[in-house]
A and B are shown apart, each in its own frame.
Chain A
Amino acid sequence: MDVPDHLRYADSHEWIDPDSPETATVGISDHAQAELTDVVYMELPEVGRTVTKGEAFAVVESVKAANDIYAPASGEIVEVNEALAEAPEPVNEDPYGAGWLVKIKISDPSELESLHDAGSYREHVS
């Protein structure tokens, strides 16, 4: 199970890249995509929407179920991976790369501290 060291992780299996708080990339972890199996549909928010940490802001659907995705941090959605609307496969195939979901302009960087680091997330999913 892939858990890149530089990311931070929510209990609900979203990851966020804290390196540039103006445009922090968000996605779901390798563990999450493996649990879902084939993603057949992605419902993503509009650019400009504000989200609060823990708020459901997207829906990922497998054949069997629709699952909410929760914002790992509060802020404004500044970019959305529109390509996933046509072809959601990257969410399974490359969850930390081409499968990114949105970019958030983080409003409160201190919120990142309560997220798991890679080590703690590895324990969480083991």
Chain B
Amino acid sequence: MLRSPLHSRHEELGARLLPFAGWEMPIQYDGIVAEHRAVRNELGVFDISHMGEFLVSGKDVTEWLNGILTNDVRELEDGQGQYTLMLNEAGGVIDDLILYREAKERYFLVVNASKIEQDEAWLKRKLRDGIVFENQSAEWGGLAVQGPKSTEIWNQLEPEIPLPNRNGIFRSGAGAILCRTGYTGEDGFELFDTNARIGEWFDQLLAAGAKPCGLGARDTLRLEKCYPLNESDLDEEHTPLEAGLGFFVKLAKAEPFVGQDVLLGQKANGVSSKLAAIKMTGKSPPPRHGYEVRDESGENQLGELTSGSLSPSLGIGIGMAYLAPESAKPGTPLTIAIRDRVFPAEVVKKPFL
């Protein structure tokens, strides 16, 4: 199993470490609820060294990427990034990622840890003359710095290094990469640097008051915002339109992209399932991935939860599931089967918080 450059620090902090995507990662330190609250109210820092980073460059790389990803790469100027998806030929999601344009012929991609190999294989199969692909994942350690105090603390630590604007990317003179994005719904950024230096950043951020946060809190935070998780809410059997991510799919862009045909069909004829946000309507055990979603009577199964958790901010259970469109309308009463009982729930508008 792979170890993060911050591994010994996690151990010193008393982190609970578990395998994730082939890495030994901190799930929690103090407790998921405390860490979640720290990010919502102040500042938390997450080890994201396991994530993947690619650099693609070349003369027609903009056009090349636009034929592989769903969002319109041409909308980006130098220093800007966008959330986008990479689909298979059936329109199913291989990965969701953030694409940053550093220059007309140079792009930086941040991809899910669990998909690094598959993404690389896919992109390499599609390479053509003049495009260079580099998997830089082993070179970069990463931190996600998230919370309302993130800008203030960064400016105290590094007044000379400006944070990029929202979704932007900036490389410091010393080679650190700052990306103004996050997976928590709070202001913040992701910071990539060498394995040697990422530890120093971590130490400095903790000293400045950031709370170390694990993957457990990362999951509760993103779920409250309805950000999908690859291999839970997103998979190769569902299209981004079914997942409600049409905003990041530009069907009218200049280059046809892989999977586009299926999506054009869904746009014309409608989707057969929709990823719905589901909230428990009373006290219940936490809803979890895999639990059955049933109709109001509790007798007929409509689907199963792709994600589920107690929401620490709302104090109630939340989850997501693919449901038939008529069952996916906000206000639809449902039940969730937990062990041998059913508990009332309903479809709500996204996000939960």
Closest to B32 in A: A63
- CB pair A64–B216 under 8 Å, yes or no, is yes
Residues of A within 8 A of B339 (CB): 43, 59
CB < 8 Å: which of A41, A63, A85 contacts B220? A63
CB distance from B321 to the nearest CB of A (A): 19
Q: In this assembly, does B33 line the interface, its C-beta being within 8 Å of a C-beta of chain A?
A: yes
Residues of B within 8 A of A98 (CB): none
Q: In this assembly, does B28 line the interface, its C-beta being within 8 Å of a C-beta of chain A?
A: yes
A interface list, Cβ under 8 A from B: 37-38, 40-41, 43, 59, 61-64, 66, 85-86
- CB pair B32–A41 under 8 Å, yes or no, is no
CA distance A43 to B340 in the complex (A): 12
CA distance A62 to B309 in the complex (A): 10
Residues of B within 8 A of A64 (CB): 27-28, 32, 216
- CB pair B32–A61 under 8 Å, yes or no, is no
Known: A63-B216, A63-B310, A63-B312. Is A43-B28 also a contact (CB below 8 A)? no
Residues of A within 8 A of B309 (CB): 63
Most buried by B among A43, A85, A86: A43
Known: A59-B339, A63-B33. Is A41-B28 also a contact (CB below 8 A)? no
Q: List 6 A-B contacts (CB under 8 A).
A: A41-B285, A59-B285, A63-B286, A64-B27, A64-B28, A64-B32
CB distance from B317 to the nearest CB of A (A): 9
- CB pair A41–B286 under 8 Å, yes or no, is yes
Q: In this assembly, does B31 line the interface, its C-beta being within 8 Å of a C-beta of chain A?
A: yes
- CB pair A61–B31 under 8 Å, yes or no, is no
Residues of A within 8 A of B288 (CB): 66
Instruction: Given contacts A40-B286, A59-B285, list 14 more A-B pairs with CB under 8 A.
Output: A38-B31, A38-B32, A40-B310, A41-B284, A41-B286, A61-B286, A63-B33, A63-B286, A63-B310, A64-B28, A64-B32, A66-B288, A85-B283, A86-B283
Residues of A within 8 A of B285 (CB): 41, 43, 59, 61, 66
CA distance A12 to B339 in the complex (A): 21
Residues of A within 8 A of B31 (CB): 37-38
CA distance A72 to B34 in the complex (A): 32
Known: A63-B216, A63-B220. Is A37-B286 also a contact (CB below 8 A)? no
CB distance from A41 to the nearest CB of B (A): 5
Residues of B within 8 A of A85 (CB): 283
**B residues 292-334 with Cβ under 8 Å of A?**
309-310, 312
Residues of B within 8 A of A40 (CB): 33, 286, 310
CB distance from A67 to the nearest CB of B (A): 11
Shortest beta-carbon contacts, A-B, top 8: A63-B32, A37-B31, A41-B285, A38-B33, A40-B310, A38-B31, A61-B285, A64-B216
**B residues 203-260 with Cβ under 8 Å of A?**
216, 220
CA distance A61 to B310 in the complex (A): 10
CA distance A55 to B28 in the complex (A): 30
Closest to B29 in A: A37
CA distance A52 to B34 in the complex (A): 37
CA distance A66 to B33 in the complex (A): 16
Residues of A within 8 A of B286 (CB): 40-41, 61, 63, 66
Residues of A within 8 A of B32 (CB): 37-38, 62-64
CB distance from A91 to the nearest CB of B (A): 14
CB distance from B154 to the nearest CB of A (A): 29
CB distance from B39 to the nearest CB of A (A): 14
CA distance A103 to B309 in the complex (A): 30
CA distance A43 to B339 in the complex (A): 11
Residues of A within 8 A of B27 (CB): 64
Residues of A within 8 A of B216 (CB): 63-64
CA distance A73 to B17 in the complex (A): 34
| 0 or 1 for each of B24-38: is its CB under 8 Å from A? (1 = yes) | 000110011110000
**B residues 9-29 with Cβ under 8 Å of A?**
27-28
CA distance A88 to B79 in the complex (A): 48
Residues of B within 8 A of A38 (CB): 31-34
CB distance from A50 to the nearest CB of B (A): 18
CB distance from A6 to the nearest CB of B (A): 29
| 0 or 1 for each of B256-284: is its CB under 8 Å from A? (1 = yes) | 00000000000000000000000000011
CA distance A25 to B283 in the complex (A): 26
CA distance A62 to B28 in the complex (A): 12
Residues of A within 8 A of B312 (CB): 63
Closest to B31 in A: A37
